[in-house]
Amino acid sequence: MNLKAGLLGGGSWGTTVASLIARNAPVKIWARCADTVNEINDNHSNSKYLPGATLNSKLVATHCIEEAVSGCDVLVMGVPSQHFRSVLQQASEHIRPWVPVISLTKGLEAGTELRMTEIINEVLPGHPVGVLTGPNLAREIIAGQAAAGVMAMEDEIIVRALQELFHSGLFRVYTNTDLVGCELGGVLKNIIAIAVGMGDGQGAGDNTRSALITRGLAEITRLGVAMGGRTETFAGLAGMGDLIATCTSPQSRNRHVGYELGKGRSLDEVISEMLMVAEGVKSAPTVVALGKRYGVEMPITGDVFSVLQGERTPRQAFRGLLKSSVGSESEPG
The sign of the torsion formed by the CA atoms of 71, 168, 137, 101 equals positive
Q: Cβ distance 5 to 76 under 8 Å?
A: yes
Q: Cβ distance 278 to 257 under 8 Å?
A: yes
Q: 14-42 b/e with 16+ CB inside 10 Å = b?
A: bbbbbbbbbbbbbbbbbbeeeebbebbee
SS3 content of the chain, % helix, strand, coil (to 5): 50, 10, 35
Q: Cβ distance 228 to 180 under 8 Å?
A: yes
**Three-class secondary structure of residue 147 per DSSP:** strand
Q: Cβ distance 198 to 317 under 8 Å?
A: yes
- 189, 263, 282, 323: the catalytic one is 189
Find the length of the chain. Answer: 333
Q: How far is 163 from 182, CA to CA, in rounded Å?
A: 15
Q: Cβ distance 148 to 171 under 8 Å?
A: yes
> Parallel, antiparallel, or unpaired: how do β-strands 60-62 and 74-77 relate?
unpaired
Active site residue 189: yes
> Running DSSP on this structure, what letter comes out for residue 108?
B
Enzyme catalytic residues: 189
